[in-house]
Each structure stands twice: as structure tokens, then as C-alpha cells.
Structure 1
Amino acid sequence: MVAVDYFTKWIEAEPMATITAERVKRFIWKKIICRFGLPAKIVSDNDTQFASSATAKFCQDLHIRQSFTSVEHPQANGQAEAANRIILRGLRRRLEEVKGRWAEELPQVLWSYHTTPHSTTGETPFRLTYGSEAVIPVEIGEPSPKTTLFEPTANEDELRANLDLLQETREIAHIKEYAVKMRMARKYDRRVAYRDFQEGDLVLRKTTLGAEKNKLTPKWEGPFRIAEKTDRGAYRLEHLEGQRIPRTWNVSSLRSYKTQNGQPKKPIRGSKIEATRPKTDDPRDRSGVRRLKLQDPKRTAQETDPGSED
């Protein structure tokens, strides 16, 4: 299990055979709260161990806000995904020597990361967390300013000065991080078309269940209605009958539900949904969309009533 602080980039990790709600609570208490204090907010994915009532009550009792990422969109929790890649990359380099004992090497991998300057802040996670740089083992055999210029009598004053400058150091790191994010955002916006939906719009949702196992599974399903847009840019969906769908969905997993002439379809009041399988001999069904036919109950009643011809 991995947790990362969004600003300092400090990573906490613990090897677990299986992650349960009880282990999640114990991890948060032991690795985060008892060492760094209560966090204001915890962002996690939608797995049951994080979204369980036990975890929710634990966070609620400690006044910790819970926020969940969109389904099938790990980029929404990019910091944790990046932390996972860093840990895996560090462990791979050591696996040949330790022969599979990766759990024993995890603390060394984290220590190496914590004492290395981060590309976005320009500072080490250790300094942004504790206010001064750590003396690493390599500095014992190889002289460095931290060891050669060390004065025991002036050490207390140096530490106090470091703590006084810590807030300024963090502000500079925040400015650097913001500048990096803005450059990345501009680069992303240049190559990605912006999409936005409003409440009431009809959309198709990317198929997630069975799509990887069966290549013939339709890539999109729906339509669904946009019920709400969250503050994180994700969307809550509902069936056309009004029943809400659990979890949120990122815009990358949605697309507008349009007619054959390319115009967005508008919802039909009181419409019913009838699922139909795509026909391979119909060119309109080659898009890989699981088509759902909308039926207006009033129009259907008129077509089936013999007296409607009069």
C-alpha cells in the first residue's frame, strides 16, 4: 500500500499480501497520523477497502475528508501512480541481488527517493518535510559539506536557522512546482481537444467489463444522462429512467450521444430503453457501440392502437 503527500512528495509504503479495510485504517493511523498528524483530505481509488463503511467512519470520526478518483481513470490520482512507478523502478534494480526479497529492500528504496531532489520542486522530500537535509551513508566515506563543515557547538543555531527558512523554502518549491504544472498543462492543451458536458446531456460510456477479454465486446454503451458535474471535473451519470449510477466517470471515458447526422440527441421524457445487438451487415453498427433504442411510449401507443388511424 502506498501513500504520497501532494506537496512534499513524501512517500509512505508498506508491503501487504492483501489490502483490507482494517489494514487501510491501521496504515493511515500508524504511517501517517502518528508521524505527521491528521491530513485534511485523503484521495484514493474506488476499491472496496477504501470506499467501505468502516474506512468512511474512521475518516469521519477524525474529520478527514475522503475523495475518490473517477472509475477507470488512474490519472486523477497521478501522484500515487507516479509513486508506484518510482518504487517499482527502484525495486527492479535490486531484485537480481536480493533474489525476490523485495519487501526487505523497500525501506532502502524509499530512503533513496526521500533524499533525492524532486524534478518539480527542486528540493528533496526530506528537506521539505523536516527542514534540513539528511546525511546519507555515502557521505561517510566521501567528504561532503554536511560532514566536513559540521560544528557541534553551532549545530543548534544552524538547525534553528534552517527551521526559520523552511517556510520560505516551501514557498519557493511551490512556485517551481506551479511553473512546471503550467508548462505541462499548456503542452497537454495543445494536443488534446477540450470536452465538456452539461447536466441533462446524453452520453455514451466506455465499456469496461469484459472489454479486454473479448475483442468483439462493444467499446461504448449507453446512452446515459449527465446527472452532475463534480468539482474535480468528473461526472455522475444516471439511467434515462432517473436511477443514479455509482461512482464518477472522467470525461475521457465519455462521449456525446449523437444522431446519424452528427447532432447531439436530446433526452426523451418518459422514454424506455430497449437493448439491441449490433448487426454486422449494417454499416451504421460498425462503430463498436452497444446501441440502445429509445422509444417514446406515447408514439408507440399510437402506432399499436388501430383507432389512431381515424
Structure 2
Amino acid sequence: MDFVTHLPKSDRGNVFLLLFQCMFSGFVICKPMSSTTAQEVAEAYMDRVFQRFGASEMIRHDRDPRFMSEVFAKFREMLGSRQRATLAYRPQANGQQERSVQTVIRAVRAYVAEPDQSDWDDQVEKLMWALNTTFDATRLDTPFYLVHGWDPQSTVSAMLGPRPAGVDQRTAYEWRRGFQRQYEYAQAWAKDLQAQAKAKRSEAQTKIWQELSERLKKGFAVGDAVWLYLARVQPGLTKKFAHLWHGPFRILETSDDFRCKLKIEGSGYKLYPGCT
């Protein structure tokens, strides 16, 4: 589990987002919060996780004081769950959760409708359904199916109507056996695919960095289309939901000290056209 902090205050008074994720299936649960005391974290876990799925075998988190507090430790002991804290200042130690945080932030950024970002907590709870029912390229199935063993009925399946009268109905025993075999196969397959994907991801990242390093050595040329990173956002908004990359802009001039002059005219932007 992990926290997303420094969010704009929503209409319901929430400024934090607590995320829970199953490490095996990738199933994500969220809880917008207005405060993050250890007591409230424990209550959120009880409400969103324990009452739906039971106690976790192991709770993995970073070294946030709210997770390391005596209150949360006593709560974990009461449930009989093991606790594992990742290394401090090392996001890679909790990579799956960190990637989930970034996925949620990107999804909310795309769907926030209010200019002041005050509806983010309403959007994030709706997006959890979409993320959990989306096909996972690593596990080759949806997190929802890997947790429940069945696919939820969507609006499309609802429009298809009931089973045609000419199709034979299987017995309950046959259906249960087939269902169990399919479910066990999907879980075993997902576990194997996770290991394969981890190895492929490491190889792909190494290749990307090598290609990027070669590209940067060559530098930029006049006429190239580039994106400009602007870290500043309007007062009252948060960087997490803001679009920080702007463009693309065309390069008009380059200099020996790696500075570039961009074509800003006609783009609607008001900024100094030189960048490094």
C-alpha cells in the first residue's frame, strides 16, 4: 500500500489518496482521505480490504511513519498479518506499487473535469473499476478475474441478452469443474508470466537507455520537433494532475552550448523561446 500526497483539496475535503494493491493479481483499491493518521489508515484498511477479502498474508509498504506506527503495528498483529517495509529512499524496492501510483495519477489527470481539479476524488473511484477490468499485458488477464474467478457483466454483455433457448444448459457440477479448472489455469499462467515479464522489462529498459544515450550524444538539429518541460503550474493546482510537457515546438536555431531557440509564435504560449 502507498499514499499519494500533495493533492488539491476536493469538494469533499479530501487531500490524500491511499492505494492498496494485490501483488499477485494487480487488483487496486483506493480510498480518498482528508487526514492520514495511523488510526484512519487502519480503519481504511478494515473498510476497503479486510471486510471484502479478509486479512492479508503480508502487508508491504514504504517506511512512511503512518505505516510504521505502533497503532498500525498492533492492528496488523491483531489480524495476524506479516509486515514488510521497503528500503528507505529507494522506490525500486516497491516498484509495482510505484507504477500503480503513476498509472492512477495519469488516469485521473486525463479525466479531471473541473479547472481547479476539485473533482479528482470522484473520478479516481470510478477509474478503479476501469483499471481492474482492463486486460493486463503482463498477466494476460484482468485483475478482476484473477481475484474473483469470473468476469463482471459490462454494459456490452448486458445488451447481448440472455442465453438463446436452443443452447443446452450444463449441469451445475460440470459448470463448477470447468470453472475451477479455468480459474486455476489462469492463476498459474499469471504467476509464470509475471516472472517472464520482469526479465523482459529489465532487458527492454536497458535497451531504451542505450538508445537514448546514443541519441543525446548526437544532439538536436534545426527543424526537429521537441517537447518543452515546464515545472511551474498555476498557484493552487498540483503538479501531479498538471500537464508539464508542452509542445511540440520546432527548433529554429541551435548553439554549441546545447541551447536551442524554439518557434513559439502562433502556438498560444507566452514564454522565452530559448531552452537548454
What TM-score comes out, normalization by structure 1 length?
Answer: 0.54
Tell me, yes or no, if the aligned pair for 2:113 and 2:119 is still in contact at 8 Å. Answer: no
Q: Which has the higher contact order (CA 8 A, sep 6+)?
A: 2
Structure 2 runs not aligned, ≥5 long: 1-17, 210-276
Aligned to 2:151: 133
Q: Structure 1 CA distance, aligned partners of 2:58 and 2:182?
A: 26
Q: 2:105 aligns with which of 88, 94, 97?
A: 88
SS in 2 for 1:42: strand
Is 1:41–2:58 an aligned residue pair?
Answer: yes
Amino acid at match of 2:106: R
SS in 1 for 2:32: coil
Q: Structure 2 CA distance, aligned partners of 1:31 and 1:152?
A: 40
Aligned to 1:66: 83
- Post-superposition offset of 1:108: 1.6
Matches within 5 A, 1:244-255: none
- Number of aligned residues: 189
Q: Which has the larger radius of gyration?
A: 1
Aligned to 1:123: 141
SS in 1 for 2:33: coil
Q: Structure 1 CA distance, aligned partners of 2:31 and 2:168?
A: 36
The more displaced of 171-180 and 183-192 is 183-192
Matches within 5 A, 1:1-310: 1-96=18-113, 100-141=118-159, 143=160, 154=170, 158=175, 161-187=178-204
Q: Structure 2 CA distance, aligned partners of 1:159 and 1:96?
A: 44
Alpha carbons of structure 1 residues 158 and 85: separation in structure 2 relative to 1, 3 Å: farther
Alpha carbons of structure 1 residues 136 and 191: separation in structure 2 relative to 1, 3 Å: closer
Q: Structure 2 CA distance, aligned partners of 1:24 and 1:180?
A: 32
SS in 2 for 1:96: coil
Identity %: 24
Instruction: Provide Cα deviations, 1:119-143, integer angstroms capped at 9, x if missing partner.
Output: 21010001101111112224445x4
The more displaced of 24-33 and 90-99 is 90-99
Alpha carbons of structure 1 residues 185 and 23: separation in structure 2 relative to 1, 3 Å: same
Taking only aligned residues, the RMSD between alpha carbons, in angstroms, comes to 2.8
Alpha carbons of structure 1 residues 152 and 137: separation in structure 2 relative to 1, 3 Å: farther
- Post-superposition offset of 1:158: 4.0
- Post-superposition offset of 1:187: 4.9
Amino acid at match of 1:123: D
Structure 1 runs not aligned, ≥5 long: 193-310
- Post-superposition offset of 1:173: 1.3
- Post-superposition offset of 1:186: 4.3
Alpha carbons of structure 1 residues 61 and 184: separation in structure 2 relative to 1, 3 Å: same
Alpha carbons of structure 1 residues 117 and 89: separation in structure 2 relative to 1, 3 Å: same
Aligned to 1:195: none
SS in 1 for 2:188: helix
The more displaced of 152-161 and 114-123 is 152-161
Amino acid at match of 1:33: F
- Post-superposition offset of 1:107: 2.4
Tell me, yes or no, if the aligned pair for 1:139 and 1:147 is still in contact at 8 Å. Answer: no
Tell me, yes or no, if the aligned pair for 1:132 and 1:159 is still in contact at 8 Å. Answer: no
Q: Structure 2 CA distance, aligned partners of 1:188 and 1:50?
A: 31
